[in-house]
């Protein structure tokens, strides 16, 4: 079998997580799976992975459930709502600011939690820059200045001309063939981005908070991250609105999940030392964000993409790592092996 790419394995892990939730609770309560196009796509990617990878993904998923169940008593205890609905969201949800991949829903009491599934990476929302993208409006609801566009439009126009000219000659230009692309393209675009972010912060309130809200999503969720090399799953509770960790009628959560504090000011917005393509944004409350600009395609295009990593988060964030070889994880994986739908 051909080696699976990161996108395919990410989808496969989403299926492993929703399948594991279904198998974990199906014998104890009424569990309904919404079978959508997104579900079928994730399912297909899971069954296209080799058997060893499937087992690893399932163990990673059960490790996550083992932790989340201690934090969310309404998963194992239905109260008066007999049906637990599991839903895998489409990628369109992420585009609109909801980064949760899986929803666990009980209609009575309007209870809902979301899970964001990450296979071997910690990256948060990716975004693009171009001469036609107003990142201020998209991220904060506040338009970028004319000065910003006057600086970046010539840079991206040049890239568009290179692309169009090379296409016309039947030989598309490649980024690897462009000399000094970091100094001639990445750095000047990022310098304009830095200046504009600082300008927006000077002129408007809550820009640091809005930046973090944009990057991590509009809704509270559990981030579930596999570490295949070390065979454990890390679970982080992104609990900004305080909607996670609710008690059931007769059962309290075993562990308290505190609400996260959002940043109120920038300490620094500048290039990473020695880098022409990475900006570090340091904020109060323990937030630090790395934003690396890169070309998403091998071919020259008039846009660039951010790879965004949360370098640090508030010390109050609840996080836990669960080994795949923990006895309870292995037992759940052994007992819950029924596939859902067609393989």
Q: Do 163 and 287 belong to one domain?
A: yes
Please give the average per-residue pLDDT across 13-22, as a whole number: 96
| pLDDT value for 81 | 67
Q: Which helix (H) or strand (E) holds 224?
A: strand 221-227
Residue 243 lies in a domain: yes
Residue 86 lies in a domain: yes
Q: Do 194 and 276 belong to one domain?
A: yes
Full domain range(s) for residue 44: 6-120+222-260+319-335
Q: Do 255 and 267 belong to one domain?
A: no
Q: Do 306 and 293 touch, CB atoms closer than 8 A?
A: yes
87-101, 139-153, 178-192, 324-338: range with highest mean pLDDT: 139-153
| pLDDT value for 95 | 64
Query: What is the pLDDT confidence band of residue 271, given thresholds at 50, 70 and 90?
Result: very high
Q: Do 76 and 198 belong to one domain?
A: no
Q: Do 31 and 70 belong to one domain?
A: yes
In angstroms, the Cα distances linking 194 to 31, 197, 217, 257, 269 are 48, 5, 22, 34, 7
Q: Do 291 and 328 belong to one domain?
A: no
Q: Do 176 and 67 belong to one domain?
A: no
Q: Do 63 and 39 belong to one domain?
A: yes
* Mean pLDDT across the chain: 90
Residue 217 lies in a domain: no
Report whether pLDDT(254) > 60. Answer: yes
Residue 116 lies in a domain: yes
Report whether pLDDT(343) > 50. Answer: no
- Cα-based torsion angle of the residue sequence 46, 103, 121, 133 in order, rounded to the nearest 10 degrees: 110
Residue 230 lies in a domain: yes
Q: Do 80 and 158 belong to one domain?
A: no
Residue 213 lies in a domain: no
More reliable by pLDDT, 340 or 113: 113
Query: What is the pLDDT confidence band of residue 334, given thresholds at 50, 70 and 90?
Result: confident
- Above pLDDT 70, what percent of the chain? 94
Q: Do 299 and 251 belong to one domain?
A: no
DSSP helix/strand/coil, 243 = coil
pLDDT, tens digit (0-9, with 9 covering 90-100), for 272-311: 999 999 999 999 999 999 999 999 889 999 999 999 999 9
- What pTM was estimated for this model as a whole? 0.86
Report whether pLDDT(314) > 60. Answer: yes
| pLDDT value for 340 | 62
Query: What is the pLDDT confidence band of residue 221, given thresholds at 50, 70 and 90?
Result: very high
Question: N- to C-terminal Cα distance for the chain?
Answer: 16
φ/ψ (deg, to 5) at 186: -60, -50
| pLDDT value for 332 | 76
pLDDT, tens digit (0-9, with 9 covering 90-100), for 52-70: 999 999 999 999 999 999 9
Q: Do 33 and 111 belong to one domain?
A: yes
Residue 236 lies in a domain: yes
Q: What's the rounded Cα separation, in Å, for the pair 202 and 196?
A: 10
| pLDDT value for 3 | 45
Q: Do 286 and 159 belong to one domain?
A: yes
| pLDDT value for 68 | 97
Residue 51 lies in a domain: yes
Residue 91 burial (C-beta neighbours within 10 Å; 0-12, 13-18, 19+): exposed
Report whether pLDDT(122) > 80. Answer: no
Please give the average per-residue pLDDT across 238-252, as a whole number: 92
| pLDDT value for 31 | 93
Number of independent structural domains in the chain: 2
Q: What's the rounded Cα separation, in Å, for the pair 251 and 190?
A: 50
């Amino acid at each position: 079998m051909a080696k699976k790419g990161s996108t395919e394995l990410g989808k496969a892990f989403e299926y492993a997580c929703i399948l594991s939730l279904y198998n974990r609770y199906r014998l104890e309560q009424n569990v309904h799976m919404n079978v959508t196009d997104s579900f079928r796509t994730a399912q297909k990617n899971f069954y296209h992975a080799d058997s060893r990878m499937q087992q690893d993904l399932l163990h990673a998923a059960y490790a996550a459930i083992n932790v989340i169940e201690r934090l969310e008593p309404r998963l194992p205890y239905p109260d008066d709502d007999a049906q637990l609905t599991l839903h895998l969201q489409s990628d369109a949800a992420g585009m609109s600011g909801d980064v949760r991949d899986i929803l666990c829903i009980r209609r009575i009491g309007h209870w809902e939690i979301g899970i964001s599934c990450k296979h071997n990476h910690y990256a948060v929302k990716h975004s693009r820059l171009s001469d036609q993208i107003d990142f201020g409006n998209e991220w904060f609801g506040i338009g970028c200045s004319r000065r910003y566009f006057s600086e970046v439009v010539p840079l991206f126009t040049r890239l568009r001309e290179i692309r169009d000219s090379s296409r016309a000659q039947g030989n598309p230009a490649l980024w690897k063939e462009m000399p000094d692309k970091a100094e001639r393209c990445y750095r000047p675009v990022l310098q304009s981005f830095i200046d504009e972010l600082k300008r927006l912060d000077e002129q408007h309130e809550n820009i640091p908070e809005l930046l973090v809200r944009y990057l991590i999503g509009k809704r509270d969720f559990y981030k579930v991250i596999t570490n295949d090399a070390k065979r454990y799953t890390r679970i982080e509770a992104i609990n900004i609105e305080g909607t996670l960790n609710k008690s059931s009628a007769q059962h309290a959560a075993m562990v308290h999940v505190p609400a996260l504090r959002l940043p109120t000011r920038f300490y620094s917005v500048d290039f990473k030392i020695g880098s022409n393509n990475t900006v570090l944004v340091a904020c109060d409350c323990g937030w630090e964000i790395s934003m690396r600009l890169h070309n998403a395609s091998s071919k020259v295009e008039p846009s660039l993409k951010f790879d965004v990593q949360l370098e640090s988060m508030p010390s109050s964030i609840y996080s836990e790592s669960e080994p795949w070889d923990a006895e309870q994880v292995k037992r759940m994986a052994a007992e819950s092996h029924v596939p859902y739908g067609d393989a």
